[in-house]
Amino acid sequence: MKLLVCISQTPDTTSKISFNANGTEFNAAGVQFIMNPYDEWYALVRACELREALGGTVVALNVGPAANETTIRKALAIGADEAVRIDCEPNGAGFVAKQIAEYARAENFDIIFFGKETIDHNGSEVGAMVAEHLDLPYVSYASKLDLNGSTATLERDIEGGVEVLEVDLPFVLSAAKGMAEQRIPNMRGIMTARSKPLKEVPAVAFEDSAKAVQFSLPPAKAGVKLIQPDQMDELVRLLHEEAKII
Amino acid sequence: MVLVFAESPRGQFKKSSYEAVTYGKKVADLLGTSCIALTLGTTKDAGELGRYGATKVLSIPDASFDTFDSQSYASAISEIAKSNNANVVVLSHTSTGKSVAGRVAVRLNAGLVSGVNSLPTTSGAALRVKKSVFSGKAIAEYEISSEVKVLSLMGNAVKPENLGSAVTVETVSVASAKGRVRVKSVKTQEGTVPLPEAEIVVSAGRGMKGPENWGMVESLAATLGATTACSRPVADAHWRPHHEHVGQTGIAIRPNLYIAIGISGAIQHLAGVNNSKVIVVINKDAEAPFFKAADYGVVGDLFEIVPRLDEAFKKFKAG
Ligand SMILES: Cc1cc2nc3c(=O)[nH]c(=O)nc-3n(C[C@H](O)[C@H](O)[C@H](O)COP(=O)(O)OP(=O)(O)OC[C@H]3O[C@@H](n4cnc5c(N)ncnc54)[C@H](O)[C@@H]3O)c2cc1C
Ligand SMILES: Nc1ncnc2c1ncn2[C@@H]1O[C@H](COP(=O)(O)O)[C@@H](O)[C@H]1O
């Protein structure tokens, strides 16, 4: 079993988000970076569980600069066997997908895991793009994955329900809540992570034709209007006449 | 030409499909071109899409599209986009759209922006379009410079509008691309609007004390025709089903009205709901962080307030 888990690095969920003065760049000063939660909690952990049950190798892959190595080591501490970093700035989903696909093409992975989305760009784009580059089936928002030989059974979150489906290896998935339980790396994991291989691979040239060019903060809320607990008719009136939503 | 893929799961268009066609029509107007809609699989009334601005509906009623597979869908959408020289392809940012948009973009060598929430502007031959990023904490404007552009539209970002035009429905076919995913079953809750599509959401948290108290929440939701949601600890404790969990790890929603009952408003909860148009918070703690993100707030005991609010809405609906 050869499993690839694509991990991205994102600002911590509680980070204060700000940009440079002309709004062209994210201001990383003072921001703590983490492994994208869906990649870590669900994709990586489920891949490790399958490896533990069935044998094989879990490779963690990040497209990013050398500064991301702390995050990559965490993936090794949680249980990936080896890691690959494609050395570049991850500029856009199309660009990242191209890098991952070019690396994965020659490696014949059985399953390529993604998180359901990155919590910074909220794209849900990269997994589908990689699947297309490699001409593989893609199961997005998978909340359950079981293997029976070379056939996988998955549950996939859809609007207001779930879809149960089967697909043969190899395929690509994106992981959502339910697929696994978060794991905290233990001391032994952290120690062995230091000696696990972390390979650096050069990026291929690719121009992403969709680029984030301008960032801004949402307009501040006007502030909460407080209504007395015994004035619920007044709240309904405001929702009707002022907010005009009922 | 702007091509809109209008989803019709189990033969029925969704609200998000009407939103996508409305949006596609407006993008077409901006570019001085027409809007064509595409439906895959058995569809009840394809002509209905004319009401939202499609001048032509291409229908591929092949039963193999009745179950979803990202490969066969992407290949059909891309083929139709190519044969009709589409400049822009619009999809809904739904579970289906998200699985397909990236594939279509790769096939068409197109730039993709997913989850857009407003109309684009033009910048020469490029399009500029905005979406919410950092879980609602910021807005990013993207520029797409490729010849073909792919956009997926965030739910509830535009209202379906009657932009009615005369519409022709044409049955077409595509070179068959067989999907490799075998759908075994689809389970959906009947009778309720799925959370991502709901216009009003009534949501409750740990302040409810226990699952036995949810009757008043359900009653309020029923009065408003709303869908119910909950905070993560509530789902984790199995007080409510997991599909109700909203927030960063659950579902992200953007209803017109979000009523939060006994929820503190942790940042991870807000990440899933702060794009709601109007937020009402009911909490006994005046310092609860949720009040900072709220439009209207009631400080007090939810067990007294919720039934009272329910009564007030009932009175409003009746009068
Ligand atoms: C990485 C990460 C991801 C997370 N993802 C999510 C997520 O997706 N969604 C999510 O919801 N949470 C998420 N959480 C958890 C989040 O941090 C909070 O712990 C959670 O949202 C709190 O839920 P709550 O507001 O229901 O409970 P509490 O924080 O316990 O708040 C209960 C509130 O009820 C009020 N209350 C109590 N009794 C009454 C009464 N009688 N009348 C009126 N008000 C009353 C209290 O004043 C309090 O404000 C995540 C946490 C982490 C670390
Ligand atoms: N720079 C990156 N390196 C490796 N994997 C990535 C990177 N960016 C995104 N991914 C993967 O793609 C998924 C979806 O990302 P997105 O399309 O940006 O929402 C993430 O959950 C990761 O699994």
- B198-239 pLDDT tens trace: 999 999 999 999 999 999 999 999 999 999 999 999 999 999
ipTM for the complex? 0.95
Provide the token pair at A37.
Answer: 């939660």
Superfamily designation of domain A2-219: HUPs (3.40.50.620)
Distance in Å, alpha carbon of A90 to nearest chain B alpha carbon: 16
Claim to verify: residue B159 and residue B228 sit in the same structural domain: no
Provide the token pair at A123.
Answer: 């794209």
Order of strands, sheet of A151-158, starting from the edge strand that comes earlier in the sequence: A198-202, A82-87, A57-63, A2-6, A111-115, A171-175, A138-148, A151-158, A161-168, B182-188
Alpha-carbon Rg for chain B, nearest whole angstrom, is 21
3-state secondary structure A83-95: EEEEECCCCCHHH
Residue nearest (by alpha carbon) to ligand 1 atom 11: B231
How far is the C-alpha of A6 from the C-alpha of A2, rounded, in Å?
13
Is the model's pLDDT at B34 over the cut of 80? yes
Residue B176 lies in a domain: no
How far is the C-alpha of B73 from the C-alpha of B67, rounded, in Å?
10
Claim to verify: residue B147 and residue B33 sit in the same structural domain: yes
Q: Hey, are the CB atoms on B100 and A128 less than 8 Å from each other?
A: yes
Claim to verify: residue B59 and residue B164 sit in the same structural domain: yes
pLDDT by residue, tens only, chain A of 246 residues: 999 999 999 999 889 999 999 999 999 999 999 999 999 999 999 999 999 999 999 999 999 999 999 999 999 999 999 999 999 999 999 999 999 999 999 999 999 999 999 999 889 999 999 999 999 999 999 999 999 999 999 999 998 889 999 999 999 999 999 999 999 999 999 999 999 999 999 999 999 999 999 999 998 888 999 999 999 999 999 999 999 999
Distance in Å, alpha carbon of B166 to nearest chain A alpha carbon: 31
DSSP string across B178-189:
----EEEEEEE-
Contact residues of ligand 1, CB 6 A cut-off:
A 13, 37; B 205-207, 231-234, 247-250, 262-264, 266, 268-269, 272, 283-285, 288, 301-303
How far is the C-alpha of B279 from the C-alpha of B259, rounded, in Å?
6
Is the model's pLDDT at B177 over the cut of 80? no
**Mean pLDDT of all residues in B46-60:** 96
State the total domains in chain B.
2
- Three-class DSSP category at A225: strand
Residue nearest (by alpha carbon) to ligand 1 atom 49: B264
Last residue of one domain, picked from the residues B171, B203, B235: B171
Q: At what angle do helices B95-107 and A126-133 cross, to 10 degrees?
A: 50
Among the partner-chain residues A37, A215, A221, the one whose CB lies closest to the CB of B293 is: A221
Rounded to the nearest 5 percent, the helix, strand and coil shares of chain A are 30, 30, 40
Claim to verify: residue B164 and residue B229 sit in the same structural domain: no
Residue B180 lies in a domain: no
**Mean pLDDT of all residues in B125-139:** 94
**CATH (domain of B26):** 3.40.50.620
Chain centroid to Cα B278, Å, comes to 17
DSSP A42: I
Return the domain boundaries, chain A: 2-219
B288 CA: nearest ligand 1 atom = 49
How far is the C-alpha of A57 from the C-alpha of A84, rounded, in Å?
13
Residues of B whose CB is below 8 A from A128: 70, 74, 98-103
Is the model's pLDDT at B176 over the cut of 90? no
How far is the C-alpha of B283 from the C-alpha of B262, rounded, in Å?
5
Domain span holding position B268: 195-318
Is the model's pLDDT at B165 over the cut of 80? no
Last residue of one domain, picked from the residues B171, B186, B221: B171
Please answer whether residues B71 and B177 qualify as being in contact, where contact means their C-beta atoms are separated by less than 8 angstroms: yes
How far is the C-alpha of B40 from the C-alpha of B171, rounded, in Å?
10
How far is the C-alpha of B255 from the C-alpha of A246, rounded, in Å?
12
**Nearest CA among B74, B11, B135 for reference residue A10:** B135
**Mean pLDDT of all residues in B146-164:** 94
Residue with the two structure tokens 């983490």: A34
Residue B185 lies in a domain: no
Could you tell which of B249, B253, B292, B298 is best to mutate to test the pocket of ligand 1, judged by most ligand atoms within 8 Å of the CB?
Answer: B249
Provide the token pair at B210.
Answer: 């226990």
Claim to verify: residue B167 and residue B205 sit in the same structural domain: no
Q: Could you tell me the distance, in angstroms and rounded to a whole number, from the CA of residue A11 to the centre of ligand 2? A: 13
Could you tell which of A3, A7, A42, A102 is best to mutate to test the pocket of ligand 2, judged by most ligand atoms within 8 Å of the CB?
Answer: A7
Give CB contacts under 8 A, 24+ apart, made by B26-31. Answer: B26/B53, B26/B119, B26/B158, B26/B163, B27/B2, B27/B88, B27/B90, B27/B119, B27/B120, B27/B151, B28/B1, B28/B2, B28/B53, B28/B88, B30/B119, B30/B120, B30/B122, B31/B2, B31/B87, B31/B88, B31/B122
Provide the token pair at A246.
Answer: 């009922």
Could you tell which of B238, B268, B282 is best to mutate to test the pocket of ligand 1, judged by most ligand atoms within 8 Å of the CB?
Answer: B268
What integer pLDDT is reported at residue A129 of this predicted model?
98
pLDDT grade, residue B166 (50/70/90)?
confident
Mean pLDDT of chain B: 95
- Which percentage of chain B shows pLDDT scores above 70? 100
Q: Hey, are the CB atoms on A137 and B180 less than 8 Å from each other?
A: yes
Residue with the two structure tokens 């990936």: A80
DSSP B125: T
**CATH (domain of B232):** 3.40.50.1220
Q: pLDDT, tens digit, for every residue of B64-79?
A: 999 999 999 999 999 9
Residue nearest (by alpha carbon) to ligand 1 atom 19: B266
Residue nearest (by alpha carbon) to ligand 1 atom 26: B205
How far is the C-alpha of B86 from the C-alpha of B92, rounded, in Å?
17
- Which percentage of chain B shows pLDDT scores above 90? 89
**Nearest CA among A154, A155, A100, A158 for reference residue A126:** A100
Claim to verify: residue B72 and residue B165 sit in the same structural domain: yes
Please answer whether residues B105 and B111 qualify as being in contact, where contact means their C-beta atoms are separated by less than 8 angstroms: yes
Q: Write b or e for each residue in B104-126: b if 16 or more Cβ atoms lie within 10 A of its Cβ, otherwise e.
A: bbbbbebbbbbbbbbebeeeeeb
How far is the C-alpha of B302 from the C-alpha of B288, rounded, in Å?
14
pLDDT grade, residue B190 (50/70/90)?
confident
